[in-house]
Chains A and B, each alone.
Chain A
Amino acid sequence: MNIAASLRTAFRALAANKMRSALTVLGIIIGVSAVVSLMSIGRGAQGAVTAQIQGIGTNLIFVRPGFVQEAGVRSALGSAPTLTLADAEALADSVMAPSVAFVAPQVSSRYQVTVSGQNTNTQIVGVTPEFQLVLNYQMAQGEFIDPSHVQGRSMVAVLGSKVAETLFIDSDPIGQVIRINQRSFRVIGVLAGKGGGAMGISDDVVMVPITTAQARLQAQRTAQGQQIQTINVQAVDAKEINSAKEQIADILRERHRITGSDDFTLTSQEDIIGALSQVIGIFTIVLGAIAGISLLVGGIGIMNIMLVSVTERTREIGIRKAVGAKRRDILTQFIIEATTLSLSGGGIGLLLGWGLSRIISRVPINGQMLPTAVSLDIVLLAFGVSTVIGLFFGIYPASRAARLNPIEALRYE
């Protein structure tokens, strides 16, 4: 019996019980569309997070202070040599660190910011002019901090878009004076909104010259200079990230006279993206597996209907065997019927799931759009799983049909 004849027979048998076939297929449709839409949400979230982290800047390495451990005793933060402004300057050395393009150290802490009648609690970040370049900030108004501001510890501030909105509801912030921790700063610029909030990069921020922040707002000092929380380093290009990491580590080890474990940590943007997409990947698989349960239920529905169908068509099976059908012919016929059910459910479910994921991506949830993506592997997965379900749940009824004794089958009423 060839495949075309088997398919024709299968379609004829399924068409004979349209309602029953449709309900059976519905079980698979629901399962597949749930898997497809949930996985597309997970996949979309992965893409969105990656894009957001890449939006911070390009080819970034984040240098942060670590802990020093001597004879099993972990020193308190600040007692060990940690990162300083001098370290940041050393990293910018183009001879020692040829793979490093820009270095942008930062310090940050939260303070109350006030301006006549309005106030807000926000992150105050001390930065250098390179910060704008490295972390890819655009100006909405005015100017960013320039080298002379850093040199002169100027009392100037650049507002994040959100802070500007909060403090200056309907007036122009440029040239206005704000008070941070009881000290007056003149606003010289407003940043364009970046959206999101990954890696401490948000629009709820006020930037001041790093020297000003250290001298006027903070009191933490170390032996070599004043302590820094993060040094943002941009590598010259993506291929140089690893060599940049090595150069940074070498310079810092030498400067900190480290022989044992490092007192700093290096994290590249890729490391962060990798870790986050792994987490979201697991989350996606869990979602998919939950949706997979409904697919399993759909599969059991197929098995159930196929068993009913085999019993109903016992006489037909007897006739087919009497005119020369072998076991394999009957087996193939019923497996093809089951697979036809599951595959058509898979196809329709895929379309429905794709449609659902399109709708989800257009409806804001908690004020945020959740991007979704139906990728080729999800499509293949949906078809693969529905084929396997058809085969798996079709084999038992089909083998029952194939094993029927022709004489008894012909006598069956």
Chain B
Amino acid sequence: MIEIENMVKIYRMGQVEVQALRGITCRVEKGEMVSIMGPSGSGKTTLMNIIGCLDKPTSGSYKLGGIEVSKLNDDQLAEIRSKKIGFVFQSFNLLPRTTAIDNVELPMVYGDGKNRRKRAMEALEKVGLSDRARHRPSELSGGEQQRVAIARALVNNPSIILADEPTGNLDSRTSEEIMSVLKELNQRDGITVVIVTHERDIAEHTRRIINIRDGKVSGDILLKPRSS
């Protein structure tokens, strides 16, 4: 599903060059649920942005579902984001003056626009929020907002959901709820889920933890499935 080889990303900030990724190689298979862990500044968010086709690597290869995407232009990347990738952000990133269901419909506005309302409602049902469809983000709790964001991420039937610190702004009980929603999507619908986090117990919800340090993979651990 995700094949990354020797990926390097260099940012230029005025005169200074910052090497965010220094040769990352890793693979994520279809249907996996993976955490990427690392301290801040380790390059995990950069890796996430490149996997999510929001950014391009400076060198190295990145194949998504067998397609080399590192050389595509902005519009082609947008197309891939629209069809294959769903994002979940730490700060939810919902459109503020727009109802939950309209937020969920947003990706369909730029992609496949058929039966928008019905499909948006189905996505909200999957995350258990169909009764809050007409509420605006300001009328929803943090957990509910994140669930709307998850519904938005899965509405175009993506092959990957990328979650960047999805529980970072939530209390531990709500975090558990969000993780179980993501796990359900992974197990029931077979969607590949990649979570970036720095919290150990969130990472332990997944089967595999990739550790990043100083722009390199410093560890790749397979966990035993939890008994629960």
Contact = CB atoms under 8 A, between A and B. Distances in A.
Contacts of B109: 1, 5, 325
Contact of A12 (B82, B98, B111): B98
Contact of A329 (B83, B93, B110): B110
A12 B106 CA distance: 14
Of B107, B109, B152, the most chain A CB neighbours within 10 A belong to B109
Q: Mostly helix, strand, loop or mixed at chain A's interface? A: helix
A324 B89 CA distance: 15
B81 interface: yes
B107 A323 contact: yes
Nearest to A316: B95
A73 interface: no
Given A2-B113, A329-B110, A406-B54, A323 B98 contact: no
A408 to B, nearest CB: 10
B125 interface: no
A2 B87 CA distance: 23
Contacts of A319: 93-95, 106
A410 B111 contact: no
B93 A320 contact: no
A260 B190 CA distance: 102
A407 interface: yes
B97 interface: yes
B110 A324 contact: yes
Contacts of A321: 54, 78, 81
B75 A1 contact: no
A324 B49 contact: no
Contact of B107 (A12, A324, A327): A324
A323 B75 contact: no
A324 B75 contact: no
Interface string B50-86: 0010110000000000000000001100110111000
Contacts of B98: 12
Interface residues on chain B, size class: 20 to 34
Interface in A261-312: none
A326 interface: yes
Contacts of A322: 52, 54, 81, 87, 93
A326 B111 CA distance: 10
Nearest to A402: B74
A16 interface: yes
A162 interface: no
Contact of B106 (A315, A320, A327): A320
A310 to B, nearest CB: 15
Q: Which of B79, B94, B110, B152 has the most CB of A within 10 A?
A: B110
A318 B54 CA distance: 10
Contacts of A315: 93
A327 B111 contact: no
B55 A407 contact: yes
B93 A410 contact: yes
Contacts of B113: 2, 5
Nearest to B45: A407
Contact of A323 (B55, B74, B82, B97): B82
B110 A407 contact: no
Contact of B78 (A2, A5, A12, A326): A326
Contacts of A324: 78-79, 81-83, 107, 110-111, 156
Contacts of B94: 319
13 contacts: A1-B110, A2-B113, A5-B113, A319-B93, A320-B110, A322-B93, A323-B107, A323-B152, A324-B79, A324-B82, A324-B83, A325-B78, A326-B78
Interface of B: 49, 52, 54-55, 74-75, 78-79, 81-83, 87, 89, 93-95, 97-98, 106-107, 109-111, 113, 152, 156
Q: Which 10 A-B pairs have the closest CB atoms?
A: A324-B82, A323-B107, A324-B110, A326-B78, A325-B110, A326-B75, A324-B81, A406-B54, A319-B93, A5-B109
